[in-house]
Amino acid sequence: MISEQGRKDFLGVHRRLLICGNTLVSKVFMMVWLSEEDRQLEKGVLSELSVEEAYKHIEWLDKNVGQRLAGTPQERKTARYFKQVLKSYGIPAKIFKFDAYISIPKTSELKLLKPERKTIECSCYSQIASTSPGGIEGELIYVGQGGRDDYKGLDVKGKITLAELSYSPPRPEKVRLAESFGSIGQIQINWSPKEFRVLPLGTVKRVWGNPTPETIHEMPNIPAIGVTRADGEYLKELCSKGIVRVWMRAEAWRGWGKVVQPVAEVRGTAEPDYFVLANGHYDAWGPAATCNATGNTLLIELARVFSKYKKKLRRSVRFAWWTAHETGIMDGSTWYLDNFWRDLDEHAIAYMNCDSPGMKDTLHYGPVSSEETARFHLETVKDVLGDDEAKIAASLLERPPKTGDQSFFGIGVPSISGATVPPPGKPVLGWWYHSAEDTPDKVDLDAFAKAMRMYAALIFRLCNSPILPYDFTAVAEKMIRTLSELNEKGRGSVDLSPLVREAKRLRIRTEALQKSIDGLERRLSKHKETKELRDASNKVNRCLMRLSRILMPVNYTFVGKYEQDTYGRTGLGRPIPMLQPVIELSTMSPESDEYKLLKTRLVRDRNKVWDAIIQAIELLDQTLPQLH
């Protein structure tokens, strides 16, 4: 999840969309146009949804499978079950089999040596560098959240670090940072309340997807284990009072294994090659009722209902259940991206990840959207859940982070997701997250139904809107703001003013595009969809898709189009991440080696962003005259 400041920054360009005094500004909710026939059809889709039907599959997984790690018999059993259920609904499914770099945790031990002797219960993470049978011993240093700034003033070289389990930064990035500062091992404190003696499970692999010759050296080189909140607080208190020494041993297998991945499609009619990619991971730790049986079965239920309406769908819906998300870190979604690149590049209109919907102790729907989809997402919340829920959703709106199978930033497919969320101060994914306590009693059926209705409406509108409901003026405005702030904070270390000027030129053109779209939608509302209107709509849609392909890689990645950033890499939560280091550059001595090295890279990255803005302008200059 992104920081509170990140949320405020993201909301800035959308503030005019949300609240005026205490009144929701209804006139801005006009991102999607549907015919009256489609409006009625949408109601039919929503009325067909059955939480009870989906819950049957959650119960089956709990009783018949349990933990389902990638590469295990339980994974294969689950994939076969999904295929069988889909077949019973009349939906053909394929199961892909491929190699993935996965890991299975084995054993771990932790002993407190000083200031007292005590054995502490612990869990072994996957993808770690295992210790020798003799384990490792060292001084224990508490590093808070385990982010880069938490190491300021600390010497952890040759020592074992103690960090909080959180998403600031995520687990793999904590271990990467610990390793980079010379730590020889890490212990992470679970985020559950002290009264729940729950051990965390998870992976510390930061390489996104299968490793390559260039990234295999980035695999973790230290061991890492987890402890309960109570034991972690105890160790933390000891660290605050004096020197603490511990001994730890951990063993996990890691290597190549065969994994399986189910994919199914409900084909539309008018534009069947274009599709929404709706997906969620199905490999899981523990019973995994909320992470992610709810997401898996929500997708199955959507497939069942949309299959009934397939002859009425303009575009298609492709459903995927990703594997090797947990022990491999997004191996399944990345494999699919790599092997179906051309199809995705040319035909994917949106990427909808479904992870952990319907948790108990959650109430309000929290939308997560890339900038171009935010207005559309909020409009749909208003239509489906009502004005009050829309106001709350506006305050919860987040920019998608590089976590949870967000493998498609580089290729540039717009991202939309959401779920009901816990109150502030509560664990984002529940105290039972990634543990033996993630059982079906942690599912709230009302929250599950709310998420199901939202996903169904979003997918239906993406499939049947004649014009894709994307707002690239919001993207241009965000780029202007970000580049202006970076130029100011960077104090001229790398001149970004030409990019600000070009981003303003881009905004002028995106505003012109929106005017053309508004005109098309007015004509569609008054006349039957003629060939002329279809051709114009298609031109707009191809333009919108290409804008996304051009701009998203620089807005959401460090590494660009064809590679994957490491999981949770520091700085990825901010827009145009590749230029964020200009702030750090401004604090360095211009005569230092580190300044000159970083400036060389930043000038090149500036050129990447500059090129993307120019390409977007040129695309709009070619398209706009064709729409008059």
Q: What is the pLDDT of residue 527?
A: 83
Domain check: are 546 and 581 in the same one?
yes
Stretch 220-238: mean pLDDT, rounded?
Answer: 98
From 464, 491, 506, give the residue that closes a domain: 464
Do 508 and 606 belong together in one domain? yes
163 plus 209 within the same structural domain: yes
User: Per-residue confidence at 426, pLDDT binned at 50, 70, 90?
Assistant: confident
Report the alpha-carbon distance of residue 80 to residue 262 in Å, rounded: 8
| Average of per-residue pLDDT across 532-547 | 97
Q: What SS3 class is residue 118?
A: strand
CA distance 296 to 290: 10
CA 514 to chain centre: 28
- Residue ending a domain, choose from 464, 499, 514: 464
Residues 6+ apart with CB under 8 A from 509: 616, 617, 620, 621, 624
pLDDT in the model for residue 407 = 98
The predicted structure's pLDDT at residue 528: 83
In terms of domains, do 243 and 261 share one? no
Exposure letters 497-533 (e unless 16+ CB within 10 A, then b): eebbebbbbbbebbebbeebbeebbeebeeeeeeeeb
Query: So what's the pLDDT on residue 5?
Result: 39
pLDDT at 30 (0 to 100):
59
CATH of the domain at 172: 3.50.30.30
**Predicted confidence band of residue 18 (pLDDT cuts 50, 70, 90):** very low
Backbone angles phi, psi at 548, to 5 degrees: -60, -45
Q: Are 350 and 123 in contact (CB under 8 A)?
A: no
Both 251 and 275 in one domain: the answer is no
Kindly report, residue by residue over 58-71, the tens digit of the pLDDT.
Answer: 999 999 999 999 99
- The pTM score is 0.94
Cα(329)–Cα(331) distance, integer angstroms: 6
Last residue of a domain, one of 464, 483, 504: 464
Domain span at residue 515 reads 472-627
Same domain, residue pair 22 and 111: no
The reply to whether 274 and 423 lie within a common domain is yes
Q: Residue 207: pLDDT above 60? A: yes
Spatial separation of the C-alpha atoms in residues 552 and 448, rounded to whole Å: 30
Give the pLDDT confidence score for residue 166 in this predicted structure: 85
Q: Is the pLDDT of residue 141 over 80?
A: yes
Which residue, 336, 482, 470, is CA-closest to 407? 336
Q: Is the pLDDT of residue 189 over 90?
A: yes
pLDDT digits (tens, 9 = 90+) for 572-590: 989 999 999 999 999 999 9
Backbone angles phi, psi at 284, to 5 degrees: -160, 155
Q: What is the pLDDT of residue 55?
A: 98
Rounded average pLDDT over 458-484 = 99
pLDDT at 17 over 80: no
111 and 206: one domain? yes
Task: Name the average pLDDT for the chain.
Answer: 94
- Residues above pLDDT 90, as percent of the chain: 91
Do 395 and 439 belong together in one domain? yes
User: What's the CA gap between 236 and 408, in Å, rounded?
Assistant: 39
Q: Are residues 362 and 437 in the same domain?
A: yes
For 274-278, 375-379, 521-525, which range has the lowest pLDDT when averaged over its residues? 521-525
Tell me the per-residue pLDDT of 364-416, one tens digit each, with 9 for 90 and over. Answer: 999 999 999 999 999 999 999 999 999 999 999 999 999 989 999 999 999 99
Determine the pLDDT at residue 202.
Answer: 96
- Among 22-36, 47-61, 541-555, the minimum mean pLDDT is found in 22-36
Percentage of residues in the chain having pLDDT higher than 70? 95
Same domain, 67 and 201: no
Transcribe 173-210 into DSSP letters: HHHHHHHHTT-SEEEEE--S-TTS------B---S-SS
Does the pLDDT of residue 14 top 60, yes or no?
Answer: no
What is the residue-wise DSSP string for 158-177? TSEEEEE-SSSS-HHHHHHH
Report residue 258's pLDDT band, with 50, 70 and 90 as the boundaries.
very high
Query: What backbone torsions phi and psi does residue 87 show, to the nearest 5 degrees?
Result: -60, -40
Tokens of 23: 């009144």
Q: Tell whether the model's pLDDT for residue 23 goes beyond 70.
A: no
The number of folded domains in the chain is 3
Q: What pLDDT sits at residue 578?
A: 98
Tally the C-alpha atoms within 13 A of residue 13's C-alpha that lie toward its C-beta. 24
The pLDDT tens digits of the residues spanning 26-36 come to 334 457 889 99
| Residue 406 belongs to domain with CATH number | 3.40.630.10
Do 107 and 37 lie in one domain? The reply is no
Residue with tokens 């993630």: 438
